[in-house]
């Protein structure tokens, strides 16, 4: 049995529903196989799937009322993130995905701000949430990611799975693999929010260190990849709860919370920063305690029931 049988298939079914049960939708992702994705005729040198991106732009933006206008937006987005500095390209891409893109849709008209992803929780159903596997992107080599989470055809999360039983490698090898992608197919990481690496026993998440040049650099970055112990929004402070037997699979619990569509978009909007110190910029993402505490504060304010002690 391969990594697919030991780890990947389980994660896919937790996120998108059991393949044998059409009524099981998992946590909200739609699984599209590699064969199904081929129907969109994506250029494999381009990580963005226009077959999903173009219709999504029209759904989310009344001003983008024709396919021609949607394609103009798609071209403008690609130009906006075209930068030889890989980290700057990623920073700019996430900025545009959060704030929208100013585009002149018709000659002689004023520019309008176009949303590429609908972040408003009340309208997130306008997005397309696709999870696929064996997603190829050509660069200097062909990178084939185990799983990719695409929102409106834009790859936001890359996941790599390793089976210690099958290969003797654990999640750390997955971290090394996503770092190889920045050399083999840089575009796959341009719109990346976060990455995941998992084996049979453990799931870790983190970011790619774009400045990593050596194996030692990557090993240092591996130390920054952390477990995800939150079950937000289903359960609060799950890491303090006692185990529950068969339901206490740490990989399942982490995947179904961290990789939940609303949480991925929350990370995109609120929990990724690029911090510059002494002339060096580092991409940072929140830990599970920070993520849950911040959301708890917002939830309590919106509920209006608790005036003091928000944390």
Lowest mean pLDDT among 34-38, 91-95, 261-265, 299-303: 299-303
For 42-90, write each residue's pLDDT tens digit: 999 999 999 999 999 999 999 999 999 999 999 999 999 999 999 999 9
CA neighbours closer than 13 Å in the CB half-sphere of residue 295:
22
Closest by CA position to 182, among listed 191, 171, 172, 190: 190
The tens digit of pLDDT for each residue in 218-249 reads 998 999 999 999 999 888 888 887 665 556 79
Instruction: Round to whole Å and give the CA distance between 105 and 66.
Output: 10
> What pLDDT is recorded for position 114?
98
Backbone angles phi, psi at 130, to 5 degrees: -115, 135
* Contact assessment for residue 197 and residue 174, using Cβ atoms and an 8 Å cutoff: yes
pLDDT digits 0-9 by tens, 116-169: 999 999 999 999 999 999 999 999 999 999 999 999 999 999 999 999 888 788
pLDDT band (50, 70, 90) for residue 33? very high
Q: Read off the tokens for 144.
A: 């084939």
β 30-31/129-138 pair status: parallel
Q: Which residues are CB-contacts of 300 (< 8 A; sequence separation ≥ 6)?
A: 306, 310
Backbone φ, ψ for residue 174 (5° rounding): -65, -35
Is pLDDT larger for residue 6 or for residue 99?
Answer: 99
Q: Is the pLDDT of residue 8 over 80?
A: yes
181, pLDDT greater than 80: yes
Beta strands in the chain (DSSP E): 30-31, 101-103, 112-114, 129-138, 142-151, 154-161, 194-198, 203-206, 226-227, 272-277, 280-285
89-107 pLDDT, tens digit each:
999 999 999 999 999 999 9
Name, in order, each residue with C-beta under 8 angstroms of 213's C-beta and a sequence gap of 6 or more.
none
Lowest mean pLDDT among 67-71, 102-106, 251-255, 275-279: 275-279
Instruction: Report domain extents, the chain.
Output: 3-228
191, pLDDT greater than 80: yes
């Amino acid at each position: 049995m391969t990594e697919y049988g030991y780890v990947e298939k389980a994660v896919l079914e937790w996120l998108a529903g059991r393949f044998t049960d059409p009524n099981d939708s998992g946590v909200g992702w739609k699984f599209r196989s590699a064969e199904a994705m081929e129907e969109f005729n994506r250029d494999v040198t381009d990580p963005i799937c226009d077959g999903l991106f173009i219709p999504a732009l029209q759904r989310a933006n009344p001003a983008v009322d024709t396919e021609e206008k949607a394609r103009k937006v798609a071209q403008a987005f690609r130009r906006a993130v075209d930068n030889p500095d890989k980290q700057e390209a990623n920073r700019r891409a996430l900025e545009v995905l959060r704030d929208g893109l100013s585009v002149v849709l018709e000659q002689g008209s004023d520019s309008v701000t176009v949303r590429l992803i609908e972040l408003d929780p009340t309208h997130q159903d306008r997005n397309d949430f696709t999870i696929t596997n064996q997603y190829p992107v050509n660069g200097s080599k062909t990178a084939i990611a185990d799983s990719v989470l695409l929102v409106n055809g834009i790859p936001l999360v890359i996941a790599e799975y390793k089976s210690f039983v099958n290969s003797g490698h654990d999640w750390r090898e997955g971290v090394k693999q996503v770092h190889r992608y920045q050399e083999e197919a840089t575009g796959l990481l341009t719109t990346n929010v976060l990455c995941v690496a998992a084996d049979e026993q453990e799931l870790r998440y983190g970011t790619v260190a774009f400045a990593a040049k050596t194996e030692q650099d990557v090993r240092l970055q591996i130390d920054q990849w952390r477990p995800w112990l939150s079950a937000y929004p289903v359960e609060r402070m799950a890491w303090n709860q006692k185990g529950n037997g068969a339901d206490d699979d740490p990989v399942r619990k982490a995947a179904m919370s961290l990789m939940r569509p609303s949480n991925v978009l929350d990370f995109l909007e609120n929990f990724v920063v690029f911090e510059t110190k002494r002339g060096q910029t580092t991409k940072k993402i929140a830990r599970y305690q920070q993520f849950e505490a911040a959301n708890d504060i917002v939830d309590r304010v919106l509920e209006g029931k608790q005036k003091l002690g928000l944390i």
